[in-house]
Chain A
Amino acid sequence: MTVVLRARGLGKRYGRRWALQDCNFQIPAGKVVGLVGPNGAGKTTLLQLAVGLLAPTAGTIEVLGGRPAKTPAQLGRVGFVAQETPTYAALSIEDHLHMGAWLNPGWDAELAEHRIERLGLDLSRKAGRLSGGERAQLALTLAIAKRPDLLLLDEPVAGLDPLARREFLQGLMEVVAEHGVSVVLSSHLVADLERVCDYLVVLVASRVRVAGEVETLLASHHRLVGPRRDLATLSADQEVIEESHTERQSTLLVRTDEPILDPAWSVGEVTLEDLVLAYMGRQGQAERVQGSKLEVVR
């Protein structure tokens, strides 16, 4: 298995606040990876570390076997679409394509022009006059026409209306199908990722909560509904991610690789959204528990 991104003890601190902490995970090649988490979880920090815009405070990050932004060749292998898809407002689309050609030895001019043409954009238009969706498309074009092995996209669809959002993701999937590029895209909305991702990294409060193939994750998480019971009685291989109880009934979201044999449970499937929300919620619970403890101590 080839690994496109490997983080070991990765951390980034701003002043006294850790934006990212203790990240250990790896992403196999050829995947479309959804990096999901609430706002401020550290998604942007992680992606900027991967592209070399930031340097880690702790640990290491290895991208395509090299250190991010170390050499021009390394920079050329990674395509990046930054949050809010920045472009030069005063330069035309054509200027941007020229820039891509001037700065990237592997530039695929045909691909870039073809994409712009298919989007129906006028080459002479200034980037500052493009709509959010068009600008995102231009940024994506710049990132893929350098023919990277790995494409990183930071909340590329956050500011787009539903139609532009769909078009953007469609365009992205075409690129993946055509060029077999690995992709990591972040979002705080699972719905955006559900349609396109086959791998998921959930980042909550500066830590990676869960990372894995979407299929495996869905297969190993179950919603259990049954009579109310003490969680200590669950079998050892079942990890409770989320729980809610009424007087008579317990509803759990558990992670296990073993089949659920206990006949008292009725077992249900989980959706990706359930799963992500459960992991995000768990963090919230943990914090609440900690918070109340602190109050007691005080």
Chain B
Amino acid sequence: MIRLTLRQFRTQAVVALGALLVVAVLLAITGPTVVHLAAESAVTKFPGPYLSLHEALSFVLLAIPALIGIFWGAPLVARELETGTFRLAWTQSVTRTRWLAVKLAVLGVSSMVVAGLFSLMVTWWSGPIDRVKLNLFDSAWFGARGITPIGYALFAFALGVTAGVAICRVQPAIVTTLVAFIFARVAVTLWVRPHFLAPVHTSFALTSPMVGIGVVNNAAGATLSASASIPNDWVYSAQIVSKTGHALIPQAVQNAIPDLGAAGGAHAQGVGQEFQTQFQTGIAKLSTTYHVLVTYQPGSRYWAFQGLETTLFIALALALFGVCFWWVRGRVS
């Protein structure tokens, strides 16, 4: 059964290996230059093509699991059902449970290997640029580095197979796979990942270099808001609160910086010297009562999050495999 699976998988495998090879050669040629430029701390002077390649690689890495789901997962069983060849396959001296088990094992492992190798190459090549330019914990990049693509790939593959088994036709299965995969990725990023581990709360002084204070104009008048940028950390929120935990009172802001409303909501740095001084003094005054409470995941948890996200997607994939077995075993053709 393994040999038949490999034979039927041959074309797709050759395409994937070819793509891996092309990328490997490209990265092997350009990689040393990236390392060299980074060593000379000249990252800001990276030539444009390198930065474009850096972005393109991340994009491709995000797309690879979806491609695996579409081209490996969806047709795996759906094509057999669509063309009727399942009647040939399932009447050989191999039970269909085993038939499916071997197919899922061979292609599932291949999906993880391809995505893993790809991610390894991209993570290595992009490393020097990432370290200066990006916060990898950020949602936009989290799924395009490290081990998460392995989990995504297996999940997308499982999703494709399941859609194929359920729908019995290749093209609708492909569309369904794509939509469901994007939905799952977005849903986990927005609603699940933030809850993997309880975030850490830390207080910073209003004057701390880690926090930025901005002006917000709303119906109630002008007030202040805080933002925090801590390198490599994933910041959920930054709030200005009093020592007793109460939110900033507009009246307090008015008292400290009387001209704030008049500044028309323009950013503090953008206006006159006089206001600038008043703003700085006001902030200093407010900081005796108020501080910035930052809720965040420390950068040291990056790999824990990578592991949890990957585990989650692998678990989802295994659950989908279970559905496939149940369906194929009892299927009504």
Q: Interface size of A by Cβ–Cβ distance < 8 Å? A: 37
Q: Is the CB of B93 within 8 A of A106?
A: yes
With both beta carbons as reference points, the residue of chain B lying nearest to A84 in the complex is identified as B84
Closest to B333 in A: A53
Question: A42 CB to closest chain B CB, in angstroms?
Answer: 15
Instruction: Verify if B88 is at the interface (C-beta below 8 Å from A).
Output: yes
Residues of A within 8 Å of B319, CB to CB, are: none
In the complex, A86 has a CB within 8 A of chain B: yes
List the 5 closest pairs (A to B, CB-CB), nearest first. Answer: A76-B93, A103-B92, A82-B87, A86-B84, A80-B91
A98 within 8 A of B: yes
List the one stretch of B3-11, B66-74, B126-134, B256-264 in contact with chain A.
Answer: B3-11
The reply to whether A104 and B93 form a contact with Cβ atoms under 8 Å apart is yes
List the B residue with the shortest CB-CB distance to A70. Answer: B95
Given contacts A82-B87, A86-B84, are A103 and B93 in contact (CB under 8 A)?
yes
In the assembled complex, which residues on chain B have CB atoms less than 8 Å from the CB atom of A55? 330, 332
B59 lies within 8 A of chain A by Cβ: no
B332 contacts across to A, CB distance below 8 A: 14, 54-55
| Assembled-state Cα–Cα distance A139/B88 (Å) | 8
22 residue pairs of the A-B complex, CB under 8 angstroms, read A14-B332, A52-B91, A54-B332, A55-B332, A69-B95, A71-B95, A72-B93, A72-B94, A75-B91, A75-B95, A76-B93, A80-B91, A84-B84, A87-B85, A88-B88, A89-B83, A91-B8, A99-B7, A103-B4, A103-B93, A105-B93, A146-B92
Additional A-B contacts beyond A48-B87, A103-B93, A146-B92 (11; CB < 8 A): A69-B96, A72-B94, A72-B95, A75-B93, A80-B91, A82-B84, A86-B88, A88-B85, A91-B8, A102-B4, A105-B93
Task: Kindly state the separation between the CA atoms of A73 and B84 in the bound complex, as whole angstroms.
Answer: 23
Are B88 and A102 closer than 8 Å at their CB atoms? no
Overall SS of chain B's interface: loop
Tell me the smallest distance from the CB of B76 to a CB of chain A, in Å.
Answer: 13
List of B residues within 8 angstroms of A83 by Cβ: 84
Question: A128 to B117, alpha carbons, bound, how many Å?
Answer: 35
B275 → chain A closest CB, angstroms: 74
Q: For chain B residues 48-94, which have a beta carbon within 8 Å of chain A?
A: 83-85, 87-88, 90-94
Cβ of A142 within 8 Å of any chain B Cβ, yes or no, is: yes
The answer to the question of A213 belonging to the interface, with a C-beta cut-off of 8 Å to chain B, is no
User: CA–CA, A105 to B332, complex, Å?
Assistant: 27
Contact A95 B93 (CB under 8 A): no
* B113: Cβ under 8 A from any A Cβ: no
Judge whether B188 is part of the interface by a CB distance below 8 angstroms: no
Q: Does A4 contact B (CB under 8 A)?
A: no
How far does the alpha carbon of A80 sit from the alpha carbon of B91 in the complex, in Å? 7
> Considering the chains assembled together, what is the distance between the CA atoms of A248 and B9 in angstroms?
72
Q: Are B85 and A80 in contact, with the CB atoms below 8 A? A: no
Known: A69-B95, A103-B93, A146-B93. A53 touches B7 (CB 8 A): no
Distance to closest chain B CB from A57 (angstroms) = 10
**Contact, CB under 8 Å: A54 / B333:** yes
Question: Once the chains are docked, how many angstroms separate the CA of A87 from the CA of B83?
Answer: 9
Q: Which residues of B contact A146 (CB under 8 A)?
A: 92-93
B87 touches A80 (CB 8 A): yes
| A19, B87: Cα distance in complex, Å | 19
Which residue of A is nearest B2, CB measured? A102
A226 to B153, CA, bound (A): 79
Q: Which residues of B contact A87 (CB under 8 A)?
A: 85, 88
- Whether, in the assembled complex, A100 has its beta carbon less than 8 Å from a beta carbon of chain B, the answer is yes
